[in-house]
Structure formats: C-alpha cells, structure tokens
Structure 1
Amino acid sequence: MPDALTDMLASRDWILADGATGTNLFNMGLDSGDSPEMWNVEKQDNIRALYRGPVEAGSDLFLTNTFGGNASRLKLHQAQHRVAELNRAGAELGREIADKQSRKVIVAGSMGPTGEVMHPLGALTHDLAVEMFEEQAQALKDGGADVLWVETISAPEEYRAAAEAASRVGMPWCGTMSFDTAGRTMMGTTSADMVKLVGKLDPVAFGANCGVGASDLLRTVLGFTEAGAPKPVIAKGNAGIPKFVEGHIHYDGTPEVMADYAALARDCGARIIGGCCGTTPDHLRAMREALETRPKGDKPTLEEIEAKLGGYSSANDGTGDNLPPKRERRGRRRG
C-alpha cells in the first residue's frame, strides 16, 4: 500500500514542510542544554502548540519533537531508558494535532544523528547504530507517525544504518544530510555522492537540511538534480545566517527572504520545501503564499540565487578542486 507521503507527492507539485523545532521551543522557554524530548511528557501543551504553529501557517507536513530521541543522545540526560516513552509521546501528540485538521497533514517522525562517530573512524558500529535507530523508529511507528524523517546526517554510514532500521520496522522514510563544509557534509559527502547513495536505498524522498544559509542549500539542491536525483528532493534551509544578538542567536532571514527561497527551491527542483533553524510560522506563511501565487520559473542560475538570498559561504559546491579536509562530526540539534 502506498504511504501517505507518496500519495501526497503523486497528487501535488510541491509540499510545504515545517520550520524550526529548537528555535520555536527556545521562544517558549526551553533552556539551552536541556532535552526538548522531555517536553513530550512534561509540557505537552507546549508541544501541541509547537505542532499547531506550522499547521496553522499552511504546512502539509511537520516533524515530531524527537530529533535527539535516540539512546545515545538521551544518555546525555540520563534518559537512555526512556527512548520508547519519549518518542511514542512525541508522535502521539503529532497524531492528535494532525487528525483534528480538515485537510491531510503528515506526521513525520524526526530521527537525528546519534552524535557518535561511526566505525572505522569511531567506536559506533553499524549494528549498534541500526539497533539505536530501530528502537526509536519502532516507538515513532507505535505513536502513529506516517513516515520516518532522518535528518542532519553527515556520514553515509549513519544514513545507511537509519535506512536499515526503517526497513526493519516496516516504515517509509525520508532522509536529509547537512552540507555545511564548503558544499560537503562534515564527513566529506557531496551532493553527487548522496545521489549515488540514495540510488542504492529506497527513501520516499531525500535532500538537504540546515547547513549554512539558504543560498548554499539551494546550490546543493541543484547538485542533486544535476546528478539525476532518483527520488523527490527535499529542501529545508535555515532562515538566513545565525548572528549573536544581545545574548541570543538570531537568524537574519525575513519572511520575505524565505518566500523568495521557497519559490527558488521549487524552481531548483525541490518537491518538499520547508525551513530549518530560525524558521517560524511567520516565515512559513510567507513561503506558502509564494508557492501558491508565484508561477513556476526556469531553473535559476547561481547568480540569480545569490542576488535574491545572499552570497555563498564558499567558492565551490564541494565537487571541485582545493577541497577542505574531512572532519569528524558529533551531530547537532535541528534548530
């Protein structure tokens, strides 16, 4: 049977995803360093509000508050034994909000990186990674998620482990990586590398999230399409560039800029378009209006993207010469 996301993709030219999780929870009072997943049981009204925000702004799909819900990440909060409880609760709250809508809204079970470095560079083996992802995936399925949403991954080995976990629990899945090191992930994967990786797996959709700014992310999306993307492409870019203002991280992307980003993302070939760090419901409303009212245009040039969204953080997209060395990465929370 086709899953809900596949059905929606079959009937729609584009799907509006949600925005930030961390940004919006910090605005509700979450303290830096605390586990957002705890709020799935301790402050459920806040999580309901988190989910309602993008839905009321026009999102067709939203992610659960479970990005750091694997045993490795929860161990940092002495909560590794609560994986099933916290993930199931996060998905159940999402199901509650989605089922109250008069239109179809998809609940995507967020699964972020483990935060560990995989073998052979680190101690995390494939089997252990699959085990952690499978525990989380099963809980999200039990809570009613429509699809698993693997995100902010840097290592292809971790991407494969999450894909295997999704298969083991019988769930459709999507997967995005973060290209934040001169057009590559911190473990060295390029947009073309990811296309090859996805060709060996079976996600419903794939793409990029987070990274640096919206310009960089769209350059990566162009890399996917130029390499022959075998599945629908996801674009979830940050709302501008983070700046430290009066003791807080502020993203400088306005709703108007994110509206331009959404239209450009569609023109670059993305089918699922949303925001990441810094993206609020106000941004999403502007993005929805742009997607609904602006006619589809030709594929933009890099110069056209730069003119509307700002400059790139590096001179190339990661596939040229003089590339930076690979660096280890321990994963970060989706903002």
Structure 2
Amino acid sequence: MTNTFITLLESKDALLADGATGTNLFNMGLQSGDAPELWNVDEPKKIEALYQGSVDAGSDLFLTNTFGGTAARLKLHDAQRRVRELNMAGAELGRNVADRAERKIAVAGSVGPTGEIMEPVGELSHALAVEMFHEQAEALKEGGVDVLWLETISAPEEFRAAAEAFKLADMPWCGTMSFDTAGRTMMGVTSADMAKLVEDFDPAPLAYGANCGTGASDILRTVLGFAAQGTTRPIISKGNAGIPKYVDGHIHYDGTPELMGEYAAMARDCGAKIIGGCCGTMPEHLRAMREALDTRSRGDAPTLDQIVSVLGPFSSDSDGTGDDASAGGERRRGRGRRRA
C-alpha cells in the first residue's frame, strides 16, 4: 500500500475525483444487466481506458471498477467465487494506470452496497456482511489500491459492517452515502446523522460525504448540512451530472460541462475537500471541473438561493433535517426549469 491518497489530501486545497463508471462503460459497449466487474478480466483495455480518461481529464484520484464486487452482488451473475480474482484485477489495472502517470494519482478501491437488507428489517446478518466486505477489501488491498472507498450506502448498519471489515483489512478508508430521498438516504439517514456516525469508528474514515442521489443542487445542500455540524473531517461531494432523462431509448443526464464546473467551484465553497462526479459525469465534465477548481478563487459558502440560481431547483422542499435554517439561506422550493 502506498500513501499517495493521504499525501494528496494533506498537500492540496481540493482534490478532483473521477466521474461515472457505469455511464462510461455503457458508452464502451457494456450491456444493461451485465456485471461491469467481469470486464476487469474480459475487457482489461477498456477498463484501463476508463481509468485513463479520468487521469487525462485532470483527476487526482479515481475509483476502481469494483462497485459490485461483493459475493452478494456477484452471485447475481454466478460469479460469487470470483471475488478475489475480479477485485484484484480491477485494482491492478488501476495501479498500472496510476503508476504510469506523470503526477501523483491515488487509486481508490470502490466498495458498493451488498444489495441486501440487513437485520432486523432484512435477512443479512452483521457477521455475514462483515465477512463479505472483508473478502473484497483484502482483494483490493492485494491489488494495490491506496484507500478503500465505500459508496452509495443507505443504511447505517451496512456502513458499520464495512467499517469493521476495513479495520480487519488494516486499510485506510473513505465513505459516502446517497441522500436521494428528500434529503435523506433511503433508510432515513440525514447529513447530521452521518456526520455523527463517522466519528464512532476506530479508525474513522479519512473523509466522508455524499455521492449519487439526485442532481448537483441537492448534493450541495447535503454538503452544507455536513459543514453545519462543525466537522473537521474532509468532506466528499460526488454529484450526478444533472438529472436523468429518457431520450431516444437511452438514459441521458442533462448536466453540461459548464454546469458541472459551476458545481465543482460551489462544492468547494460549501466545504467539500474531495469533489467529483457520479452518474452521467464524463471526461468532458471533469475537464470543466478541473479548470474551475484551478482558476477560481475560493469564496464564501453559497446560500440555498444562490445554489438554485446557478444549478437549478432542488428536487424536494426539505433537506431532511427538519431545520430549515440549518444549511444557511432561505429555502427555495424545487420548482422551475433547471439551468444546464
């Protein structure tokens, strides 16, 4: 394991993360319903091209193509016995791309949700969840990632299981949740809840925040919610490139590179240290985000009205906390046309 991620985190004002994995792979020919992780072995050149696209666009770090790399997710494709093989391959391809770069690039081992509901609501036990996350973490570590990156989590129970697994693997980690249900995660977690949750772990994540969810406006409201808790831990913001729309038989995200550049600068002003994109975010979006972070001076945290005026309306009236003043500024209803 290298310390590249920690070095970058300590030496840079803000880090640019990568963009979408699935969107880019679909453009390369991945079919709906296929497991992207299988391409780590079957289409390694395409996976290296995915990683290289982020590096060429100016990213300081990228996530491996291992989001669905637990045994629970791979079982859907009869690949549950290939956890070590597929995660190691995804990590090694990333390590190769990063090591060839002319500047320091961190490789983050992506770990997504199991896709199962944990006890007591569902049937997945804590012990089994830890076992599956640990298996994936060890494979990513063996493949050479700098840091483990838990993402798109909804339930605190699953977040805790992953944190325990990462401790067993003796790896530094980051973690994000998806606040896609009126400012909360699907399981009801608020930004304030998460800010408190991450401090319960030993070791705590190096950084935490939000990814995916809805559009750029909503994720910035969540980032403001994190910052309002007085956290000193670096905050992550990886928002979608606009809102998905069904156009000519395909899902299209309406966020332009210009909008994502505005988003990146505003995310930094809201308090985010690590800024990237999620669904729909392509290399052209990342280039605009890189330019915005490099050329614009840091400003004051925007009000909610200012976020709406630049990035478009919120998808819900509330950020989920029940305190309309907690994120600063007067709350603007999510009506009207998105500016893209």
TM bucket (normalised to shorter chain) is over 0.9
Q: Is the 8 A contact 2:2 2:146 kept in 1?
A: no
Confirm or deny that 1:306 pairs with 2:303.
no
Match of 2:228 in 1: 226
Confirm or deny that 1:256 pairs with 2:258.
yes
Q: Which has the higher contact order (CA 8 A, sep 6+)?
A: 1
Q: Is the 8 A contact 2:4 2:105 kept in 1?
A: no
Q: Structure 1 length as normaliser, TM-score? A: 0.95
Match of 2:131 in 1: 131
The 2-side partners of 1:63 and 1:207 are apart by: 15
Confirm or deny that 1:20 pairs with 2:20.
yes
Identity between Structure 1 and Structure 2 (%): 70
Match of 1:35 in 2: 35
The 1-side partners of 2:260 and 2:38 are apart by: 30
Match of 2:216 in 1: 214
1:6: how far off? 2.1
Match of 1:186 in 2: 186
Q: Is the 8 A contact 2:258 2:288 kept in 1?
A: yes
Q: Is the 8 A contact 1:199 1:230 kept in 2?
A: no
1:5: how far off? 1.9
Superposed counterparts of 1:73-152, under 5 Å: 73-152=73-152
Match of 2:153 in 1: 153
Match of 1:284 in 2: 286
Counterpart of 2:173, as a letter, is: W
Q: Is the 8 A contact 1:195 1:230 kept in 2?
A: no
1:321: how far off? 7.8
Counterpart of 1:262, as a letter, is: A
1:8: how far off? 1.3
Match of 2:336 in 1: none
**How many residue pairs get matched?**
322
The 2-side partners of 1:37 and 1:293 are apart by: 36
Which consecutive segments of 4 or more residues in structure 1 shift more than 6 A?
Answer: none
Q: Structure 1: 5+ residue runs without aligned partners?
A: 323-335
Counterpart of 1:149, as a letter, is: W
The 2-side partners of 1:288 and 1:105 are apart by: 14
Q: Structure 2 length as normaliser, TM-score? A: 0.93
Counterpart of 1:221, as a letter, is: V
Q: Is the 8 A contact 1:5 1:204 kept in 2?
A: no
Q: Is the 8 A contact 1:265 1:273 kept in 2?
A: yes
The 2-side partners of 1:106 and 1:210 are apart by: 21
Structure 2 vs 1, CA of residues 319 and 22 (structure 1 numbering), >3 Å: closer, same or farther? same
1:227: how far off? 1.1
Once the two structures are superposed, what CA deviation does each residue of 1:116-174 show, in whole Å capped at 9, x if it has no partner?
A: 00111000111110000000000000000000000000000100111111110110000
Root-mean-square deviation (CA), in Å? Answer: 1.2
1:59: how far off? 0.2
The 1-side partners of 2:31 and 2:231 are apart by: 39
The 2-side partners of 1:8 and 1:291 are apart by: 15
Match of 2:271 in 1: 269
